[in-house]
Chains A and B, each alone.
Chain A
Amino acid sequence: MNPQADLLPGTLDLLILKAVSLGSLHGYGILLRIEQISRGALLIEQGALYPALFRLVRQGYLKASWGTSDNNRRAKYYELTAAGRKRLREEEEGWNRLVAAMTWALGSEAVQS
């Protein structure tokens, strides 16, 4: 339909961690932030966001707390924990290695043929 890419399995968590690492956000804010940092290329299914958030909280990577938003509404904010920060670093490195490897692999095919 549009140039938006489907998410690879397992990448949603990484994106959420990345989005939150730039500052604490509420759920809707995370959606917007991901859209923004992926320059609109990644579309998150809204329904999938919250279960992922709850999972990350349970795993101890995110911390949730209630606060007041800019327009004076009560909102639940998510921020990274120390474990989350570490996890994000590991995931980023892993992702970069994967991308590099994939690029190599796909690129080498073009050279050979």
Chain B
Amino acid sequence: MAKIVGMLTTSHVPAIGGAIAKNLQQDAYWKPFFDGFLPVRKWLDEVKPDVAVVLYNDHGLNFFLDKMPTFSVGAAREYHNADEGWGIPTLAPTRGDIDLSWHLINNLVERDFDITTCQEMLVDHAFTIPLKLFWPQSPCPIPAVPVCINTVQFPLPSAKRCYALGEAVGDAIRNWDTDKKVVVIGTGGLSHQLDGERAGFINKDFDLKFMDSMIDDPKWATQFSIHELVEKTGTQGVELIMWLAARAAVKGKVRKVHSNYHIPISNTASGLMALEALE
């Protein structure tokens, strides 16, 4: 059966794509952010996952308001990035893993998650940039399966529901009949708000407490409603539900490989965690 080697979570701000394109990794503004990835890449070189499952949220590239699925799973042989309208470079396509996609789809529906399946799916910066940060090579050296959670249009699925989705994703991976090693990635957050008079809101205390909880109290943030999470972390900070889902997939005890927290990247409190599965 497949094995989950661990979990990676990171923020996914579009401006990071611009900084990579301009080689600004050692620039004073960007260095504290990019340096955080070095120990994580070292760990990835050691554990060598064969495939990634990426929990992320689309920002109006693949989905518009005409059809807005709460949870969707990619089932394509290849995932293309495209022009997102805000001037960041389009990254190379990422290979999919059709076998894992349909295994996830079948298992999730069996567990009562009424997901949308996507045999064509454009992936935006929330999928491409984290892969680029973890594997700077182009194209990404391992295949990946996208799982998208709606954070565009309320009502959003609750933190508790996203955690349950993550548990079901994890169980499905663990009963996938293969000897492959899988890494689960959650992208988004941490606290930030782009819109309204409260734009620029950041909540460092909450973010640090949340990052701590990921290690040995992973359900901690599921006590909050989406409304409470927006109040505490900002309208886009609520993307932390991807982190919850990714952590839930790992299940049980973890070892912290590395974490980094830096304010600000663009308007965002950026967070990074790599947790190794111990069970």
Bound pair: A and B? no
Query: Residues on B close to A: CB < 8 A?
Result: none
Query: Residues on A close to B: CB < 8 A?
Result: none
